[in-house]
Chains A and B, each alone.
Chain A
Amino acid sequence: MSFISLTFYAFCLLLVLAYYLVPKRMQLFVLLIFNVVFILASDGELVIFMIITVISTYIAGKIMNRNDRALKAQIAAVPDITRAQKTELKDRTARMNRRLLTLALFLNFGIWAVIKYTDFVIQNVNKIGSALGLSAVPYAAFIMPLGISFYTFSAMGYLIDVNRGKYPADESLLNVAAFITFFPHLIEGPFSRYDTLGKTLFERHSFSYENICLGSRRILWGLCKKVIIADQLGTAVNYYFNNLNMYDGLYACTAMLLYGMQLYADFSGYMDIACGVSKLLGITLDENFARPFLAVSVEDFWRRWHITLGTWFRDYVFYPVSFSRAAQKLGHKSRKKFGARMGKLVPSYLALIFVWVITGLWHGAAWQYVFWGLGNLFIIVFSLQMKPLYEKGKHFIRADRHELAWHIFQVVRTFIIVGFLRVMSRTNGMMECLLLYKNTFKGWNVNWLAMGKWTFFPKMQTISIATACLFSLFLIIVDILQEAGRWETVKAKTPGIVRSFVYVGLITALLICAGENAGTTTGFMYEIY
């Protein structure tokens, strides 16, 4: 069920009515029913994989709770228990829970990995096989269940937190099922955390006109981003990437710029709709974007783009690997040989390799995604290593005296670097990506003004290009105002009649673009992950 279909909004209307009309103690149950209907309508029998995740997560959590209660009882049963005995009992329980956690992780990540990466492995095996004259292994062509890359990570994050003692496992199957299957966060995230989403998900909600207004506005904003910007620009972007050889210079750069805006509008538009739908019910989802195009470094970009992916990998991959014995040994050796600074950085570099290879593969089962991840890693590590020299250079050119100009330089530089990295995921393999890079540096001649070349947008009407660009500019201005902390003030000071005109304008543009896109609109871009 697409978030940009009338069926979906009819579904949401029914949900809102049912949610607020039933007794409050039934709200979560009603939500779970609607979650299941959404999944069945979108995924059919593939729902079995989600059921496996829900059941295994619930059972593993319950057993961990039971083990912890047994531990407390054992300690209480021995009045003058020594510290050593207590430690031994705690270690034994920790080992049991760790084994249970490992089993659950193996089962759930195993299912995800098999479905997602089997054909990638077969592809590489076949390449080696064909060089050795062996016959090809047939592809499995598994269908990805809806949201498996998102709900698996959310569920396993919950179990890891339970194992770490952050909170006890939830004994209610309804709660665990509602958390994992919550439909707004299924298709493109966010990677929800049990304790933060749970704060509002499990509460009983009274009808709130304010929530309905806030939710509806957010949904409208997301729809506008998707329909007016992403889908309009997508026509030109798709044409360019299908005819990459024909365009270079300014056209290649323009296509990269448009692709970046398309992806941002598409993904953040989805998030706005997901957050808006949740808000209608009084539920708060974690934010996934914080004005990423205003980042001052690649590291800063990843604190603003797909935020919950970054924090998930930080808490469940980066920190555990950094704190591991192997990483710490490496850190000690590096400190002795290269000094305190390297001793501090080396464990983190090791962890970052894991983070970026897995992040790359999470985005896609292909080598270009691994290279994309390693590309991000290289830029981040290079920046960290060069930081002392960089600070000296900044002082030398007196950049600290021209803060705004320096800030703008950093933002533009980051935008370009991220743009170059991002297209790796759009092209069909690394060779095509390298061709694109080559094309951006050649063909900068005076003919770019000739109108004939701009049939780069063959299927777009001028009004569509203008609308998409105008709304993109509006989006950027809103982002800048939000970054400066002035957006709420500007909104409050804008006369009501002007705001009404803006809403009418947005809805009109949305309807016109939706009509133009009819039959050509695709789903959301991050659905494929």
Chain B
Amino acid sequence: MEELRKLLEEIRPDLDFDKEKKLIDGKVLDSFDIIAIVSEMNEQFDLRINVNDLVPENFNSIENMWDLIQKMQAI
């Protein structure tokens, strides 16, 4: 999860990802942030996150994103 936190902090250094739990629903992250985050996640964790996965349940918090990474790596 540390790797993920570092990735997120590089893209949005102004956010405390441990505290934010409504990154999408609360419109804290915009579509440009999502694109940057997903691109880095795909590269660093060797994933194929696609448009279907871009739902609030997968990106509302760092825990949600980590769950998504683990789920995709298990497939």
Q: A: which residues have CB within 8 A of B? A: 161, 164-166, 314-315, 318-320, 322-323, 328, 331, 340, 343-345, 347-348, 351, 384
Tell whether, in the assembled complex, residue B35 and residue A340 are in contact, meaning their CB atoms are under 8 Å apart.
no
A347 to B33, CA, bound (A): 11
Residues of A within 8 A of B35 (CB): 319, 322-323, 344, 347-348, 351
**Contact (Cβ within 8 A) B11 A344:** yes
Q: Select one of B10, B38, B42, B51 contacting A340, CB under 8 A.
A: B10
| Distance A345 CA – B12 CA, assembled complex (angstroms) | 12
B52 touches A331 (CB 8 A): no
In the assembly, what is the distance between CA of A164 and CA of B35, in Å?
18
Q: Which residues of A contact B33 (CB under 8 A)?
A: 344
Q: Are A319 and B32 in contact (CB under 8 A)?
A: no
Which residues of B7-61 have CB atoms within 8 Å of chain A's CB atoms?
Answer: 10-11, 13, 31-33, 35-36, 38-39, 42-43, 50-52, 54
Residues of A within 8 A of B36 (CB): 331, 343-344, 347
Q: By CB atoms of chain A within 10 A, which of B33, B42, B51 has the most?
A: B51
Contact of B31 among A161, A165, A348 (CB under 8 A): A348
Q: Which residues of B contact A (CB under 8 A)?
A: 10-11, 13, 31-33, 35-36, 38-39, 42-43, 50-52, 54
**Given A340-B10, A340-B11, A340-B13; A347-B39 close (CB under 8 Å):** yes
Q: Let me know if A331 and B51 touch, CB within 8 A.
A: no
Q: A331-B36, A347-B35 are in contact. List 10 more A-B contacts (CB 8 A).
A: A164-B50, A164-B51, A164-B52, A315-B51, A318-B31, A319-B54, A323-B38, A328-B39, A345-B32, A384-B32
Residues of chain A contacted by B52 (CB below 8 angstroms): 161, 164-166
Chain A residues near B11 (CB, 8 Å)?
A: 340, 344
**Distance in Å: Cβ of A5 to nearest Cβ of chain B:** 40
A316 to chain B, nearest CB (A): 8
Instruction: Enumerate chain B residues within 8 angstroms of A328, measured Cβ to Cβ.
Output: 39, 43
Docked Cα-Cα span, A510 to B18, in Å, equals 57
Cβ B51 vs Cβ A320 within 8 A: yes
Residues of A contacting B43 in the complex (Cβ-Cβ under 8 angstroms) = 328
- The complex places the Cα of A361 from the Cα of B10 at a distance, in Å, of 37
Which residue of B has the minimal Cβ distance to A344?
Answer: B36
Residue of B10, B36, B38 ringed by the most chain A CB atoms within 10 A: B36
**Shortest CB–CB separation between residue A230 and chain B, in angstroms?**
33
Query: Within the assembled complex, what's the spacing in Å between the Cα atoms of A430 and B28?
Result: 39
Q: Is the CB of A319 within 8 A of B51?
A: yes
A161 CB contacts on chain B under 8 angstroms: 52
A-B CB contact pairs (8 Å), 10 listed = A164-B50, A164-B52, A319-B51, A322-B35, A322-B39, A323-B42, A328-B43, A331-B36, A340-B13, A347-B35
B42, closest chain A residue (CB): A323
How distant is the Cα of A345 from the Cα of B43 in the complex, in angstroms? 18
Give 4 nearest A-B pairs by CB, closest first.
A344-B36, A322-B35, A348-B32, A166-B52
Across-interface contacts of B13 in A (CB, < 8 A): 340
B4 to chain A, nearest CB (A): 16
Shortest distance in angstroms between B24's beta carbon and chain A's nearest beta carbon? 14
Nearest CB to that of A161 among chain B residues?
A: B52
Q: Chain B residues near A351 (CB, 8 Å)?
A: 35
Chain B, Cβ-Cβ closest to A83: B75
Query: CA–CA, A314 to B34, complex, Å?
Result: 13
User: Judging by beta carbons under 8 Å apart, are A331 and B50 in contact?
Assistant: no
By a CB distance below 8 angstroms, the chain B residues around A347 are: 35-36, 39
Q: How far is the CB of B45 from chain A (nearest CB, A)?
A: 15
Residue of B at shortest CB range from A352?
A: B32
Q: How far is the CA of A323 from the CA of B38 in the complex (A)?
A: 8
B51: which A residues are within 8 A, CB to CB? 164, 315, 319-320
Q: How far is the CB of B58 from chain A (nearest CB, A)?
A: 14
Nearest Cβ on chain A to B37's Cβ, whole angstroms: 9
- Distance in Å: Cβ of A297 to nearest Cβ of chain B: 12
Q: Distance in Å from the Cβ of B26 to the closest Cβ of chain A?
A: 16
Q: How far is the CA of A328 from the CA of B42 in the complex (A)?
A: 11
A523 nearest CB across to chain B (Å):
35
Docked complex Cα distance between A344 and B30 (Å)? 11
Nearest Cβ in chain B — how far from A34, in angstroms? 33
A351 to B39, CA, bound (A): 14
Q: How far is the CB of B47 from chain A (nearest CB, A)?
A: 12
A87 — nearest CB in chain B belongs to which residue? B75
With A and B bound together, what is the CA distance between A328 and B37 in angstroms?
A: 11
A343 contact set on B, CB distance < 8 A:
36
CB of A158, distance to nearest CB on chain B (Å) = 13
Q: What is the chain B residue whose CB lies nearest that of A324?
A: B39
CB distance from A311 to the nearest CB of B (A): 11
A314 vs B11: C-alpha distance in the bound complex, in angstroms? 21
Closest beta carbon of chain B to A382's beta carbon, Å: 15
User: Which residue in chain B gives the minimum CB-CB distance to A384?
Assistant: B32
A351 to B51, CA, bound (A): 14
With the chains together, A166 CA to B33 CA distance in Å?
Answer: 23
Q: For the complex, what is the distance from the CA of A343 to the CA of B12, rounded to whole Å?
A: 12
A161 to B52, CA, bound (A): 8
> Could you tell me if B32 and A323 are in contact, using CB atoms closer than 8 angstroms?
no
- Give Cα distance in the complex from A384 to B32, angstroms: 10
The CA-CA distance from A322 to B36 in the complex, in Å, is: 9
Q: Which residues of A contact B54 (CB under 8 A)?
A: 319
- For A322, list chain B residues within 8 Å (CB): 35, 39
